[in-house]
Amino acid sequence: MRKAFDTLGHYLDVTGQEIKMAFMTMIEYPSNIAGWFISNPLQFIMGFAIIKFVVESFGEINGWNYGQLAFLYGLSVISHALSMIFFVQGWFMGWYVIEGDFDRYLTRPLGVMYQFFFTNINIFGLTDLVPGIMVFIYGCMKSGIQVSVMFVFQVIIMLIGATLIRGGIYILLGSTSFHTRSAVDFGQYTQEIMDKTTMYPLSMYPESLQFILTYLIPIGWVSYYPVSSLLGIENGLSGGMTTALITLAVGLLLMCLAGAYFRSGLKKYESAGN
Amino acid sequence: MIDVNKLCKDYIIKRKGAGLSGALKGLVSRNTDTIHAVKDLSFHIDEGEIVGFIGPNGAGKSTTIKMMSGILTPTSGSVLIDGEDITKHRKEVVRNIGVVFGQRTQLNWDLRLGETFELLKHIYRIPQNDFDNTLNVMDDILGIKELIDKPVRQMSLGQRVKGDLVASMLHSPKVLFLDEPTIGLDVSAKYSLRKFIKEINEVRKTTIVLTTHDLGDIRELCERLIIINHGTMIEDGNLKEITDRIAPYKTLVAEFYDEKAPTHDRCELISREGNVARYRFNKSDITAADIISDLSSIKPLKDVSIEEAGIDDIIKIAYGR
Amino acid sequence: MKKYLYILKTQIIKSMTYEFNVYGNIIMQTIIMITSAYFWRALYTGRSVVDGVDVGSMQTYIIISSALSVLLITNVERRIGSSVEKGSVATDMMKPISLFGMFLAEDIGNIIALIFQNMIPILIIGTLMIKPPLMADVRDLPLFIISVIESFLINWLIAALFGMMAFTAINNNALIQVKKHLIRLLSGSIIPIWFFPDSISGVLTALPFVYIYQLPLSIYIGRGERADILMQMGIQFIWLIVLSALFFFAESRITRKVMVQGG
């Protein structure tokens, strides 16, 4: 037990240093900061506007009104932003594999997956977080949410779960590079699919697809089920903590699977050169 | 300190045809080749040794050193560092090793050098005292402190390699792996690098394993050489032993007063250029003094000199086998 | 010309080398296409025609949009970015071959490979799993082909222009993202802008983005009067001219700058 705390303290200490270095790197290239501060919010403002236009043309989407959709969109963007901060490197894992960048992580006495994600922590993901929180607050107001301590607590647990689900998917896709030895970037496709399935209610898709997205690729737990539970929308889920805890469990489970697949891939790692 | 037992590494490579039709066929076919990059390699390295790994390109040097430092997982066999298996206990074992790969850096490209050192201090949990001490020692040998505030992207290759060396020594590892550390460096940078390697080996008793193509590195650093080719060991020993074993000859260079150099029945006349002739003889067959007296009895000699087999000769012979 | 054809052919072979990418891309694009088709089917529940388009045409729109997206993949912006970042741009420009001509040949080579690897499989999968994406009026085929060629060129020129911004900002990754989002959301590739409020779609009609996706797709599904289509093709052509002019102007400025400063 004492050793576990000691290890945790060590990792936190290193993480602090990594974050400090990430900020220093960011300041080193000011022109980038401006770029990301325009690019990322722009994407979500436009995305959110488009949902509004669709609702105006078609009325409610599968019984979800504009306020509820804003709530769904906001929660989805927040977990997207968090996954961008911590796990976006999963999209580019192929390049790291081919360039032999895992050499460095393998010769240091810390977990390889931890090092991969935290030495490359993406501070710019914060530029996604701000519009996400703004839309989420807007959605809360529009759908008449009573904000309580319990509500905030639930949302936080759900966000952790949702971020882990997204991260797990990125890691699973990225780790295929160890086996295929090709630098393939499914980032844009992944985001496209994620947008379609987490920013609109899952109930609009046929049951077969809903089944897949609930049990096989659990994207439904990123935003649809948590939001349904928070807003009290019928789908057989109870409100309260249960859904939040299921979301967290799904996230942890997927992360464990992703970790195992990553480790099996790492055994096949071939470095670069030769 | 290091035990390598029956180490093997196979790569599986997809076979591809040439041209457009080959590319199209590659989409559906599943033809693969297995390449045995390292075959059944076993050796032992004691504490405080400096061992040079040499061999032609593609011989399996880098693959071996990468398996020894925990980067590649062996297909079979094991690497023990200080008695512990690096594949099974990677996180514990790598605390005892440092790694520098000449073509690649572990330094943070965007920030000043000191920032990477700071990160390593946290990663290896180096006490501030030890950290300062090591840095002082490194400063004495390499003058690292004048580089510490310089952003890595502005450094020359030589400075960067210095930075990498210091970074790999901060946690005082017992073993240091260097993969072609002097590649691309100028003469003075090579000199200070070799000085550094010798000093940490003497002062800290650090065991050093390096691969290199540089004859100067081999001559000045390596007390022991392991020559590998096609993934197997061909020679293991110090330079003199290997020389006696695979190139036990010397060359006598004799200058006469005309171009008609005589032959000698106990040594081989290998070249004749103008008045200068070169005779190769086996050290166990005949002495240089005998040849000189034999030759001078036939023709007057102007000048003689004797050449030992050089490292390049040895490598040529070893690689050719 | 021969050397550009050689680059083009080499790129086709390069693009075909990684079979995993090929299958991965097809799977990903299939998922996107099918969810989009269901998305529109769900929106159209209880409605037959919205903004002049029925659900069947909308599904054709989605299938053809997925197929078209294959033609609109560019690497020129990243190639310029890395050339500037690595500092090799000056030597690249010294080569006896136009730098941008080389990038164009590479992009076209890549697309030709992708037509076989992605576009045809996607059309087949779309036909089998959604519906056969038939053209509304086959007599419009020449118009469709012309507008697709122009949309490819407009898309490529925009990519090249954004890529050239690497010469002003050190790192153009963020700008490439901006471009990606603009095209993704404002070109009608995912949601046609006729669903947008009139004021906004009016502004967007004046920008080049809708002429990349929405115009050829509208021709394909037969939305709009012929006169209207012809007028839009006129605007598309004007944008092609404007962007080409901008491109050649920027290219000569950059060439001069690089030749003077040596990168």
Q: What angle do CA B27, B33, B39 make, to 5 degrees?
A: 150
Q: Within 13 Å and on the Cβ side, how many CA atoms surround B271?
A: 7
* B27/C13 CB distance under 8 A: no
CA distance B109 to chain A (A): 9
Shared-domain flag, residues B313 and B270 = yes
* Torsion sign (Cα): A220, A226, A229, A233: negative
- Answer whether C13 touches B (CB < 8 Å): yes
Shared-domain flag, residues B264 and B146 = no
B176, part of any domain: yes
What pLDDT score was predicted for residue A79? 95
CA distance A2 to chain B (A): 17
- Answer whether B13 touches C (CB < 8 Å): no
H-helix or E-strand containing A106?
A: helix A102-106
How does residue B16 score in pLDDT terms, banded at 50, 70 and 90? low
Option in A58, A189, A209 nearest C29 (CB): A189
- Residue B235 CB neighbours (<10 A): 20
Shared-domain flag, residues B96 and B233 = yes
- Name the residue in chain B with its Cα closest to that of C18: B27
B39, part of any domain: no
B74 contacts in A (CB within 8 Å)? none
How does residue B119 score in pLDDT terms, banded at 50, 70 and 90? very high
Beta pairing partners, B282: B249
Mean pLDDT of C166-177: 72
Distance of CA B205 to the CA centre of its chain: 19
Shared-domain flag, residues B231 and B273 = no
* A102/B101 CB distance under 8 A: no
Option in B19, B22, B26 nearest C19 (CB): B26
B165, part of any domain: yes
What pLDDT score was predicted for residue A239? 64
Position with higher pLDDT, C193 vs C170? C193
A270 contacts in B (CB within 8 Å)? 11, 72
Option in A32, A56, A197 nearest C174 (CB): A32
In this predicted structure, the answer to whether residue A219 has a pLDDT above a threshold of 90 is: yes
In this predicted structure, the answer to whether residue B22 has a pLDDT above a threshold of 70 is: no
What pLDDT score was predicted for residue A158? 95
What pLDDT score was predicted for residue B3? 92
* A39/C177 CB distance under 8 A: yes
pLDDT digits (tens, 9 = 90+) for A21-44: 999 988 887 777 777 788 788 888
What pLDDT score was predicted for residue C263? 43
* C22/B27 CB distance under 8 A: yes
What pLDDT score was predicted for residue B17? 65
CA distance C85 to chain B (A): 12
Percent of chain C with pLDDT over 90: 42
Mean pLDDT of B107-111: 88
Shared-domain flag, residues B50 and B186 = yes
Mean pLDDT of A190-201: 88
Ranges A260-264, C8-12, C19-23, most confident: A260-264
DSSP letter string, B200-263 = HHHHH--EEEEE---HHHHHHH-SEEEEEETTEEEEEE-HHHHHHHH--EEEEEEEESSS-PPP
In this predicted structure, the answer to whether residue C170 has a pLDDT above a threshold of 60 is: no
- Name the residue in chain A with its Cα closest to that of C33: A193
Option in A29, A108, A273 nearest B123 (CB): A108
Q: What does the block give as tokens for B283?
A: 């050290």
Query: How many whole angstroms separate alpha carbon B110 and alpha carbon C187?
Result: 37
- Among the ranges given (B51-65, B176-190, C248-262), the one the predictor scored with the smallest mean pLDDT: C248-262
What pLDDT score was predicted for residue C224? 83
In this predicted structure, the answer to whether residue B81 has a pLDDT above a threshold of 80 is: yes
Question: Angle of helix C55-71 relative to helix C214-221, nearest 10 degrees?
Answer: 140
B1, part of any domain: no
A17 contacts in B (CB within 8 Å)? 118-119, 122
Shared-domain flag, residues B162 and B260 = no
CB-based contacts of A104, cutoff 8 Å, min separation 6: A115, B104, B106
CB A177 within 8 A of CB A183: yes
Mean pLDDT of C248-263: 78
Position with higher pLDDT, A261 vs B25? A261
* A54/C181 CB distance under 8 A: no
How does residue C211 score in pLDDT terms, banded at 50, 70 and 90? very high
Domain boundary pick from B214, B237, B260: B237
CA distance A183 to chain C (A): 9
List, in sequence order, the alpha helices (H) in chain B: 19-26, 61-68, 90-93, 113-123, 128-142, 157-169, 187-204, 215-221, 239-246, 288-298, 311-320
CA distance C17 to chain B (A): 6
Mean pLDDT of B2-26: 78
- Answer whether C181 touches A (CB < 8 Å): yes
Q: How far is CA B270 from CA B239, B253, B273, B297, in A?
A: 24, 10, 10, 20
B125, part of any domain: yes
CA distance B140 to chain C (A): 34
Residue A219's SS3 state is helix
A13 contacts in B (CB within 8 Å)? 122
Q: Which chains lie within 8 Å of chain B at 3 or more CB pairs, if any? A: A, C
- Answer whether C27 touches A (CB < 8 Å): no
Counting the structural domains of chain B, the total is 2
Residue B301's SS3 state is strand
CA distance C91 to chain B (A): 21
Shared-domain flag, residues B95 and B228 = yes
pTM summary value: 0.87
In this predicted structure, the answer to whether residue B142 has a pLDDT above a threshold of 80 is: yes
Query: How many whole angstroms separate alpha carbon A84 and alpha carbon A198?
Result: 15
* A25/B111 CB distance under 8 A: yes
What pLDDT score was predicted for residue C19? 65
pLDDT digits (tens, 9 = 90+) for A80-139: 999 999 999 999 898 899 888 899 999 999 999 999 999 889 888 888 898 899 999 999
Mean pLDDT of B109-117: 91
B10, part of any domain: no
- Among the ranges given (A93-107, B21-35, B95-109), the one the predictor scored with the smallest mean pLDDT: B21-35
* B19/C13 CB distance under 8 A: yes
Shared-domain flag, residues B258 and B280 = yes
Q: What is the mean pLDDT of chain B?
A: 86
Closest CA to C34 of B201, A213, A136, A244: A213
Domain boundary pick from B181, B207, B237: B237
What pLDDT score was predicted for residue A273? 66
In this predicted structure, the answer to whether residue B97 has a pLDDT above a threshold of 60 is: yes
Query: How many whole angstroms separate alpha carbon A235 and alpha carbon A178?
Result: 40
CA distance B46 to chain C (A): 43
Shared-domain flag, residues B53 and B201 = yes
How does residue B31 score in pLDDT terms, banded at 50, 70 and 90? confident
pLDDT digits (tens, 9 = 90+) for C60-113: 999 999 999 988 988 888 888 888 777 777 777 777 788 889 899 999 998 998
- Name the residue in chain B with its Cα closest to that of A13: B122
Q: What is the mean pLDDT of chain C?
A: 87
Residue with tokens 């995993």: C20
* A39/C43 CB distance under 8 A: no
Domain that holds residue B273: 248-320
- Answer whether C43 touches A (CB < 8 Å): yes
What CATH number is associated with residue B173? 3.40.50.300
- Answer whether A175 touches C (CB < 8 Å): no
DSSP letter string, B165-180 = HHHHHTT--SEEEEES
Beta pairing partners, B239: none
Domain boundary pick from B237, B265, B288: B237
pLDDT digits (tens, 9 = 90+) for A161-177: 999 999 999 999 999 98
How does residue A188 score in pLDDT terms, banded at 50, 70 and 90? confident
What CATH number is associated with residue B272? 3.30.70
CB-based contacts of B203, cutoff 8 Å, min separation 6: B137
Residue of C16, C25, C117 to mutate, testing the B interface (most B Cβ within 10 Å of its Cβ): C16
- Answer whether C32 touches A (CB < 8 Å): yes
B34, part of any domain: no
* B19/C17 CB distance under 8 A: no
